[in-house]
Homo-oligomer: A and B are copies of this chain.
Amino acid sequence: MPDIPFSIDLAFPTCIPHKYDRHLERRLSSMEGMFLDTQAFKELQSKGDSLMYEVYEIHRPEIPGELLSGISIVHPGKVGNEFFMTKGHFHSVLETAEIYYCLKGEGVMIMENPEGDTSIEPLVPGKILYVPPRWAHRSVCTGRQNDLVTFFIYPGNAGHDYGTIIKRGFRKLIVDSTDGYKSIDNPNWKTG
């Protein structure tokens, strides 16, 4: 039996794939310490363990030459003044890229590299975002009503390094503002 081609339909308007290999749900409780306003975090948590984001993975062997892909859905919401977002990560093999294609909603990608450069790119439907090798990335849903839905692809051997972000945080945060959103320096960002 050869390794055969396959295709997957996205069900519009939700964009949830009709088949996938794994469905991850990330709730508020799994992101303790990642938001600036710890009081708002506790208050929100007291109302229930909100679903923050979901990932539908299309799995393939985790080796060079392969491509891993899936759909990421970040739900609308805020913790204090900060929008719902993904944990964010570097790739374990740092010299690997990632491409996002925005299907639905509005948001931004927060990115930074180990050298201290930062970048914030808006995401709207029809936008292709290129995350170069070495850049950590976190998606943020800035829409008030709608999910941010993206299709992502990265090299099979990339792997995920969540630990560095859990320890340090991102240098930039995305918060609510009268213009829609704004980026601020993270006062809790840690070196080394």
- Across the interface, name the chain B residue whose C-beta is closest to A6: B130
Q: Chain B residues near A154 (CB, 8 Å)?
A: 67
Bound CA–CA A58/B97 (angstroms): 14
A130→B60 contact, CB < 8 A: yes
In the complex, chain B residues whose CB is within 8 Å of the CB of A180: none
> Is A126 in contact with chain B by the CB < 8 A criterion?
yes
What is the size, in residues, of chain A's interface with B at 8 Å between Cβ atoms?
52
Given contacts A113-B2, A130-B5, contact A97 B60 (CB under 8 A): yes
Interchain CB contact (< 8 A) of A153 among B7, B109, B129, B153: B153
When C-beta atoms are compared, the residue in chain B nearest to A119 turns out to be: B5
Taking a contact as CB atoms under 8 Å apart, the answer to whether A130 and B65 are in contact is no
Contact B109 A155 (CB under 8 A): no
A111 partner, pick from B5, B115, B129, B132, beta carbons under 8 A: B5
Is A151 an interface residue, CB under 8 A from the partner? yes
6 smallest CB-CB distances across A and B, nearest first, come from A65-B96, A10-B126, A7-B129, A65-B95, A5-B119, A8-B128
